[in-house]
């Protein structure tokens, strides 16, 4: 008769939604980074003879209205937008984490000033703030990074401030203070383990939001300039030719949907 060791830790099963989301994000990443290596090509090379032609060996997704490979332009666009979004989320997360912890720890006028600043930025529409930064900064990628960072840091600040305030009032933190442990130890041992799941969830949602913002502004011809391959810009360029080349138009649409759905599923499973 076998004996089951109930004391042995059981590995938690990975939620189905998170597995699907991770698979979608991984598939998009493989297309973006390995696709041009498997099928070499230039996203900016034109051949007007092949304009709106179907797929072939050198362009698996066909050609756009200027005879450029949709496959290679899509792979480049799937590297550009997520990298800008990840850079903005990393900057916003670090800024919100530092300022949120500072506001919760100091309280008083420091907390009031930082909270007022966050509320003021929250009252301003996010896309409008990004547009203002884009008008002031000549480099479009840099403008997107700065604008999205200013929009996204507020959420990280509010989450960190609320969670850190409760953690600092716990008996464990008070005992560590009395034992003489410094702020770095308190943050590493007590604060970060409590807020890490929320921060990772906010980061996934923030990345999806940033990618949608870049694509939305590209769709209305604000943001990345032609001939730079970008998801929203590719959609608006190919929209008039949807009858002649439906696969060319559907490629950036499906890739954007898969990436955003994957990030949303990953973030939603963490939140639950």
Q: Are 179 and 164 spatial neighbours (Cβ–Cβ below 8 Å)?
A: no
Lookup: tokens for 33: 């980074």
User: What's the pLDDT at 4?
Assistant: 43
**How large is the average pLDDT for residues 251-261?**
93
Q: Which of 208, 205, 206, 201 is nearest to 272 (CA)?
A: 201
Task: Give the residue with greater pLDDT, 270 vs 219.
Answer: 219
Confidence of residue 271 (pLDDT cuts 50, 70, 90): low
Lookup: tokens for 271: 């939140």
Residue % of the chain over a pLDDT of 90? 42
At 51-84, the pLDDT tens digits run 899 899 889 999 999 999 999 999 999 999 899 9
User: What's the pLDDT at 5?
Assistant: 46
* CA 28 – CA 32 distance, rounded (Å): 6
Task: Give the residue with greater pLDDT, 171 vs 114.
Answer: 114
At 154-175, the pLDDT tens digits run 999 999 998 888 888 788 877 8
Lookup: tokens for 114: 């930082």
Name 69's bridge partners.
63
* CA 272 – CA 268 distance, rounded (Å): 6
User: What's the pLDDT at 134?
Assistant: 86
Helix (H/G/I), strand (E/B), else coil: 259? helix
Three-state SS string over 53-86 comes to CCCCCCCCCCECCCCCEHHHHHHHHHHHHHHHHH
Q: Which of 195, 127, 208 is nearest to 156 (CA)?
A: 195
Q: What are phi and psi of 69, to 5 degrees?
A: -70, 120
Its pTM stands at 0.84
Q: What are phi and psi of 232, to 5 degrees?
A: -65, -40
Lookup: tokens for 269: 């499973």
The structural domains of the chain, with segments of one domain joined by +, span 61-271
Is residue 265 pLDDT above 80, yes or no? yes
Residue % of the chain over a pLDDT of 70? 93
Name 63's bridge partners.
69
- Quickly tell me which residue has 């670090």 as its tokens: 94
Q: Are 59 and 69 spatial neighbours (Cβ–Cβ below 8 Å)?
A: yes
* CA 262 – CA 211 distance, rounded (Å): 12
Topology of the domain covering 61-271:
MetI-like fold (1.10.3720)
At 181-220, the pLDDT tens digits run 777 888 888 888 888 888 988 998 999 999 988 888 887 7
Q: Are 175 and 241 spatial neighbours (Cβ–Cβ below 8 Å)?
A: no
**How large is the average pLDDT for residues 120-143?**
84
Is residue 12 pLDDT above 80, yes or no? no
């Amino acid at each position: 008769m076998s004996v089951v060791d109930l004391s042995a830790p059981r590995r938690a099963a990975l939620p189905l939604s998170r597995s699907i989301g991770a698979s979608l994000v991984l598939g998009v990443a493989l297309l973006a980074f390995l696709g041009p290596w498997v099928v070499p090509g230039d996203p900016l090379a034109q051949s007007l003879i092949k304009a709106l032609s179907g797929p072939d060996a050198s362009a698996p997704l066909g050609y756009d209205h200027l005879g450029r490979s949709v496959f290679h332009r899509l792979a480049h666009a799937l590297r550009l937008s997520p990298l800008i979004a990840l850079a903005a989320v990393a900057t916003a997360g670090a800024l919100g984490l530092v300022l949120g912890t500072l506001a919760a720890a100091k309280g008083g006028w420091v907390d009031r000033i930082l909270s007022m600043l966050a509320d003021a930025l929250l009252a301003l529409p996010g896309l409008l703030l990004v547009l203002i930064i884009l008008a002031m900064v000549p480099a479009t990628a840099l403008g997107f990074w700065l604008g999205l960072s200013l929009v996204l840091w507020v959420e990280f600040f509010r989450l960190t401030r609320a969670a850190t305030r409760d953690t600092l009032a716990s008996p464990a933190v008070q005992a560590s203070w009395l034992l003489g442990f410094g702020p770095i130890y308190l943050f590493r041992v007590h604060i970060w383990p409590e807020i890490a799941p929320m921060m990772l969830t906010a980061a996934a949602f923030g990345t999806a939001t940033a990618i949608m913002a870049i694509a939305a502004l590209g769709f209305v011809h604000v943001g990345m300039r032609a001939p730079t391959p970008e998801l929203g810009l590719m959609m608006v360029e190919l929209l008039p030719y949807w009858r002649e080349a439906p696969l060319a138009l559907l490629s950036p649409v499906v890739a954007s949907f898969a990436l955003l759905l994957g990030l949303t599923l990953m973030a939603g499973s963490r939140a639950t």
